[in-house]
Chain A
Amino acid sequence: MSPDELKEIAQTETEAHDKFEHHLNVCMAAGCLSARADQVKDALEKEVKAKGLEHRCQVKGVGCMGLCAAGPLVQSERDGTLYKEVKAEDAAPLVENLGKKPLKKLQCRTDVPFFQKQEKIVLENSGIIDPERIEDYIRVGGYTALAKVLTEMSPGQVTDEMIKSGLRGRGGAGFPTGLKWSTVAKAQNGQKYVVCNADEGDPGAFMDRSVLESDPHRVLEGLAIAAYAVGAQQGYIYVRAEYPLAVERLNTAIRQARRRGLLGNGICGTTFNFDLEVRLGAGAFVCGEETALLASIEGKRGTPRPRPPYPAEHGLWDSPTLINNVETFANVAPIILRGGAWFAGIGTEKSKGTKVFALAGRIHNTGLIEVPMGTTLREIIFEIGGGIPGGKEFKAVQTGGPSGGCIPAQHLDVAVDYDSLKELGSIMGSGGMIVMDDTSDMVDVARYFMEFCMTESCGKCVPCRVGTAQLHNMLLKIGAGQATRADIALMEELCDLVRNTSLCGLGQTAPNPVLSTLRYFREEYEKHLAEEVV
Chain B
Amino acid sequence: MKAAPSSPAPPSAHRGWKLVDATMRRHGREPYALIEALHTAQSSFGYLDKEAMTYVAHSLHVPLSQVYGVATFYHFFNLKPQGKHTCVVCMGTACYIKGGQQILEAVEHTCQVKAGETTPDGKVSLLTARCLGSCGLAPALVMDGEVTGKQEKDAVLAKVEEWRSHES
Instruction: Tell me if A189 is interfacial: C-beta within 8 Å of chain B.
Output: no
Instruction: Tell me if A401 is interfacial: C-beta within 8 Å of chain B.
Output: yes
Closest chain-A Cβ to B25's Cβ sits at a distance in Å of 15
A contact residues around B137 at 8 Å (CB)? 31, 34-35, 68-69, 71, 366
Segment at the interface with B among A15-23, A201-209, A251-259: A201-209
**Cβ A361 vs Cβ B97 within 8 A:** yes
A contact residues around B130 at 8 Å (CB)? 201, 203, 242, 283, 285, 452, 456
Contact mask for chain A residues 290-304; partner B; CB cutoff 8 A; 1 contact, 0 none = 000000111111100
B contact residues around A296 at 8 Å (CB)? 35
**Cβ B36 vs Cβ A279 within 8 A:** yes
**Cβ B132 vs Cβ A242 within 8 A:** yes
Contact mask for chain B residues 60-74; partner A; CB cutoff 8 A; 1 contact, 0 none = 000000100110011
In the assembled complex, the Cα of A242 lies from the Cα of B97 at a distance in Å of 21
A203, A299, A440: the one contacting B32 at CB < 8 Å is A299
**Cβ A31 vs Cβ B96 within 8 A:** no
Instruction: Tell me if A514 is interfacial: C-beta within 8 Å of chain B.
Output: no
Place the interface of chain A in its size category. Answer: 35 or more
**Cβ B133 vs Cβ A209 within 8 A:** yes
A contact residues around B69 at 8 Å (CB)? 301
**Cβ B135 vs Cβ A241 within 8 A:** no
In the assembled complex, the Cα of A316 lies from the Cα of B27 at a distance in Å of 16
**Cβ B149 vs Cβ A35 within 8 A:** yes
Closest chain-B Cβ to A173's Cβ sits at a distance in Å of 20
Instruction: Tell me if A221 is interfacial: C-beta within 8 Å of chain B.
Output: no
Instruction: Tell me if A200 is interfacial: C-beta within 8 Å of chain B.
Output: yes
A200, A242, A401, A452: the one contacting B129 at CB < 8 Å is A242
Instruction: Tell me if A333 is interfacial: C-beta within 8 Å of chain B.
Output: no
Q: Smallest CB-CB separation from B75: which chain A residue?
A: A283
Closest chain-A Cβ to B129's Cβ sits at a distance in Å of 7
Instruction: Tell me if A94 is interfacial: C-beta within 8 Å of chain B.
Output: no
B contact residues around A300 at 8 Å (CB)? 34, 66, 70
A contact residues around B97 at 8 Å (CB)? 361-362, 434, 436, 440
B contact residues around A279 at 8 Å (CB)? 35-36
B contact residues around A31 at 8 Å (CB)? 134, 136-137, 149
Tally of contact residues, B, Cβ under 8 A? 39
**B98-151 contacts to A (CB < 8 Å):** 98, 129-138, 140, 146-149
B contact residues around A529 at 8 Å (CB)? none
In the assembled complex, the Cα of A68 lies from the Cα of B133 at a distance in Å of 11
Instruction: Tell me if A360 is interfacial: C-beta within 8 Å of chain B.
Output: yes
B contact residues around A200 at 8 Å (CB)? 133
Instruction: Tell me if A421 is interfacial: C-beta within 8 Å of chain B.
Output: no
Segment at the interface with A among B3-11, B13-21, B87-95, B157-165: B87-95
Q: Smallest CB-CB separation from B33: which chain A residue?
A: A299
In the assembled complex, the Cα of A282 lies from the Cα of B38 at a distance in Å of 10
Q: Smallest CB-CB separation from A206: which chain B residue?
A: B133
Q: Smallest CB-CB separation from B67: which chain A residue?
A: A299
Instruction: Tell me if A332 is interfacial: C-beta within 8 Å of chain B.
Output: no
**Cβ B96 vs Cβ A34 within 8 A:** no
B contact residues around A448 at 8 Å (CB)? 93, 96
**A295-343 contacts to B (CB < 8 Å):** 296-302
In the assembled complex, the Cα of A358 lies from the Cα of B146 at a distance in Å of 22
B residues with CB within 8 A of A:
30-36, 38-39, 66, 69-70, 73-77, 91-94, 96-98, 129-138, 140, 146-149
Q: Besides the contacts A203-B91, A203-B94, A283-B74, what 13 more A-B pairs have beta carbons closer than 8 Å?
A: A31-B134, A33-B147, A34-B140, A69-B137, A203-B92, A204-B135, A206-B135, A282-B38, A284-B74, A299-B34, A299-B36, A366-B94, A366-B137
What 8 A-B pairs come out closest when comparing CB atoms? A68-B136, A282-B74, A203-B92, A360-B94, A283-B76, A360-B135, A206-B133, A283-B75
5 CB contacts below 8 A, A to B, read A69-B136, A284-B73, A301-B69, A361-B97, A436-B97
